[in-house]
Amino acid sequence: MPAPVETTVKPAPAELAAAFAKLKTAKPGFPYDGQPDREAVAIVDPYSTGACVAAAAAKRGFKIIHVMSAPESGTMEEMVPKHLRGLSYIATLRADEALPFAERAKSLAAELRKACGDLKLVAVLPGAEVGVELSEALAAETGLRGNAVATSRARRDKNEMGEKVRSAGVRAVRQLKTTEWAPVAAWLVADWGLPPDHTDVTPCALVVKPIDSAGSDGVTLCETVGAARAAVAKLVGAINALGIKNEAVLVQEWLRGDEYVIDGVSRAGIHKITGIWRYDRRPSNGADFVLHGQELVSSTDAPAGLLAYAVYAKVGSAVAPTKDLFGWGGAVKLANADAEQLVKDYAVIEALCHSGLWTIE
C-alpha cells in the first residue's frame, strides 16, 4: 500500500479572518419583498451543503421544513456539518417508499401543506443530490417554481445528462450505461475499434462510475479491458456513498487534461455562471481520483471557449442549478452535469460576499 499523501493547508489570510468576524454580525441583504417570518421553505434531504442552505434560509427568517426522500440510514445524516446538526425544523416529513413515485409525491405534498399551517410555502429545494427528483415533483405538486418534472431524471442519472446534451448537438463524453460486461465488450469493438478477439490485457482508456452517486465515489480509471471488466463487476449491485444500490454503471472515455467544474444557475431561460473551479485530483491511497484541492479561476483566466460551452451544455441539458464537470485537453467535453447546491466552502464564500471582498452579480 502506498504511503499516505500529506497535504498542507495555508493559513487563512488576514482579510478572510476579518470577513468571518464581520459575517457573525452581518444582516442578510437581498432583494425580497415577502415576509420570511410568515413563510416556509421545504428542503428535501438537507445534508452536506444542503444543511448550509437550510441554515442560510433560517438566518433570513424563513421557517424550515425537513423532507426526507428515504428512511434514515446514517450515511447521509453523517454528511451534515457538525455545527449544523442541531438545526431546528418546524416539521420533519418522510416519504412513503411503499407508494409509486407519483403517488408518493402527491401524498407528501398534502402533508407539506398541512405542516405549513398558517405559513405560506414559498419554495421547495433539494438539499442533496438524492433529493433532486422528489423536490422537483413536490414543487410541481404545490404549484411552486421548479424544473420540469419530465426531465428530472436527467439531473440525477449521469448517462441521461450526457445524452441530453449530446442530443442538443453539444459535444459530450463517449459513454455506455450497462448492468453487465457483454454490452461493453461489443461497444469497445463497434465504437472504439478494438479487435473482436481482444483480451483482458488489451489497452484502453476508460472510467467506470456509478450512475447516480456523488463526488468521486466508485470512479475507477481503467487502462486495460480486464480492469474495466473488474470495475463493472465490482460496482454493479454495490451500495454507493449515498446509500443507494448501483443498479447500473456508466463506462466513459477517459478525458485527459485539466478538470474544470462550472457552477451556474438558470431561471426562466436566463443562465448565469457563478463560479469556475480547477480541480486537482491525483491517485492516492489506492483511489484513482482523490481531490487534493480546488482553485477558483477568474473568467479571464479560464480556457478559451470553456464558458460558452458551459452555457450551451446548460441549455441543452435543461439543468438548473448545476455543477458541470468538464475535461479539458484542447477540446471541452461534458462529463457530468449534476443538479446540486452550488456551495463550495460555503461559509468562506458567504463571508467574502458579506465583507465586500467579493460581489456576485
DSSP codes of every residue in 308-330: HHHHHHHHHHT-SSEEEEEEESS
Q: Which amino acid is at 99?
A: L
Domain 174-251 annotated CATH 3.30.70: no
Q: What is the pLDDT of residues 32-55, one digit of tens each?
A: 778 989 999 999 999 888 898 899
* CA gap 32, 21 in Å, rounded: 25
Where do we find the cell 441554515?
55
Where do we find the cell 419530465?
150
List, edge to edge, every strand of the sheet that includes 175-178: 175-178, 249-253, 203-210, 220-224
Give the pTM: 0.75
- In degrees and rounded to multiples of 5, residue 150 shows phi and psi of -60, -25
**Predicted pLDDT of residue 140:** 95
Output 30 or 41, whichever has higher pLDDT: 41
pLDDT at 201 over 60: yes
Residue 360: half-sphere exposure toward Cβ, Cα within 13 Å: 17
Q: Which amino acid is at 194?
A: L
Strands 63-68 and 39-44: parallel
pLDDT at 9 over 70: no
Tell me whether domains 1-26+153-173+255-361 and 32-146 share a fold.
Answer: no
Average pLDDT over residues 128-144: 93
Alpha helices in 168-235 (DSSP H): 182-190, 225-235
The structural domains of the chain, with segments of one domain joined by +, span 1-26+153-173+255-361, 32-146, 174-251
Confidence band, pLDDT 50/70/90 cuts, at residue 216: confident
pLDDT at 343 over 60: no
Beta bridge partners of 40: 63, 121
* CA gap 10, 223 in Å, rounded: 35
Output 15 or 176, whichever has higher pLDDT: 176
User: Domain 32-146 carries which CATH code?
Assistant: 3.40.50.20
* 49 grid coordinates: 451543503
Average pLDDT over residues 131-151: 92
**Predicted pLDDT of residue 164:** 84
Q: Going along 118-269, which residue ranges are E strands?
A: 120-126, 175-178, 203-210, 220-224, 249-253, 258-267
| Cβ-contact 22, 354 below 8 angstroms | yes
* CA gap 112, 106 in Å, rounded: 10
Classified as helix, coil or strand, 292 is strand
* CA gap 225, 211 in Å, rounded: 20
User: Domain 1-26+153-173+255-361 carries which CATH code?
Assistant: 3.30.470.20
Q: Of 150-154, 161-165, 246-250, 351-355, which has the strongest mean pLDDT?
A: 246-250
* CA gap 55, 64 in Å, rounded: 9
Q: At what angle do helices 306-317 and 158-167 cross, to 10 degrees?
A: 100
* CA gap 43, 67 in Å, rounded: 6
